Amino acid sequence: MDEYINGIEELRAQIDKVEAVDELMGIEGNIRNTYYKAWPIIIDQEIEFERRVKQPPDNMINALISYLNSMVYTTCLGELYHTQMSPLISYLHEPGDRRFSLSLDLAEIFKPILSDRIIFTLLNRQQITEENFMTEVNLCYLNEKGRKTVVKEYDERLKTVITHKKLEKQVSYRYLIRLECYKLVKHLLGEQEYEGFKIWW
C-alpha cells in the first residue's frame, strides 16, 4: 500500500497551491484514481476494477459504487432539508436548476466513509459476490437480492453510533451529515468559519 499512500500524499501537498475550483477538483480526481488502484489489495475477492466508469457502470465494483453513491447523495439531500439552505447552490459542483449540487458537495465528504467502507465490508465478508449482479453489453447492475443486501447494510451503517469528539456524546452516522449541514449554516451566518469534516476514528 505504501506506493499508493505516498502517491496520494504527494498530490495532497499540491492542494495549498491551487487557485481555482477546477484545479482542486482535478487534484481530487487524481487522488481518487490513485486510491482506486489500491482496491484490489483492500478487497479480498477477485475483482475487475481498473478505473471508475459511471454511465453506465461496466462491472460489479462500478455498479456498487454508483448504487451506494446515489444513496449517500439522497441521504445528504434529506439532511439538507432540515436547514434553510438551498440545495441548488454549491461550492464545488456546478450549480444547476435540475440537480441538487450542494448535496453532491456534501456527498463527496461522506462517500469514502459510507459508500466505500460498505463496499469493502460486503465484499470481504462475501455478502456480495458476482451472483448478485446482472450483466448486459457494457452494463452491470445489482439484482434484487443484491440491492436488498446493500440497502440493509447501508441502513444499519447510518444507525451506527460513535462518540463525537467535540459534543462528547453518541451520534449516528446520519446525524454526522446533519451536523455538517449545520456547520455550513454557521459559516454562512458568520458565526463560525467552516472546517471540513475529518474522520477521527
pLDDT at 58: 87
C-alpha–C-alpha distance, residues 54 and 33, integer Å: 14
Whether residues 30 and 54 share a domain: the answer is no
Same domain, 126 and 59: yes
* pLDDT at site 96: 65
Q: For residues 90 and 155, state if they share a domain.
A: yes
Across residues 13-39, what is the average pLDDT?
91
Compute the average pLDDT of residues 48-67. 87
Are residues 96 and 133 located together in one domain of the fold?
yes
Identify whether residues 30 and 80 lie together within a single domain: no
193 domain residue, yes or no: no
List for the chain the helix, strand, coil content (%; round to 5).
Answer: 55, 10, 35
Residue 89 sits at the vertex; the CA angle it makes with 29 and 160, to the nearest 5 degrees, is 65
Q: Residue 86's pLDDT is what?
A: 87
Same domain? For 173 and 152 the reply is: yes
Distances (CA, A) of 4 to 33, 42, 88, 99, 161: 10, 12, 35, 33, 30
Res. 118: pLDDT tops 80: yes
123-168, pLDDT tens digit by residue?
999 999 999 999 988 899 999 999 999 999 999 999 999 999 888 8
Q: Are residues 153 and 81 in the same domain?
A: yes
Query: Is residue 132 one of the residues assigned to a domain?
Result: yes
pLDDT of residue 4: 94
Q: Is residue 178 part of a domain?
A: yes
Are 66 and 96 in a shared domain? yes
Asked, for residue 196, whether it belongs to a domain, the answer is no
pLDDT of residue 14 exceeding 90: yes
Residue pair 23/31 in contact (Cβ under 8 Å)? The answer is no
Mean pLDDT of the chain: 91
Is the model's pLDDT at 64 over the cut of 90? Answer: yes
77 touches 158 (CB < 8 A): no
Helix H or strand E segment including 155: helix 144-159
Domain assignment of residue 133, yes or no: yes
Which domain covers residue 9, as residue numbers? 1-37
Q: What is the pLDDT of residue 155?
A: 98
Which pLDDT band, with edges at 50, 70 and 90, does 79 fall under?
Answer: very high
Residue 148's CATH number: 1.20.120.920
State the virtual CA torsion across 33, 183, 90, 18 in degrees, nearest 10. Answer: -50
Tens of pLDDT, residue by residue over 157-192, are 999 999 998 888 999 999 999 999 999 999 999 999
Strand partners, 142: 133
In a domain, 128, yes or no: yes
d(CA 11, CA 8): 5
Task: Please give the tally of structural domains in the chain.
Answer: 2
Residue 123 belongs to a domain? yes
Residues 20, 69 within the same domain: no
pLDDT band at 84 (very low <50, low <70, confident <90, very high): confident
**126 plus 108 within the same structural domain:** yes
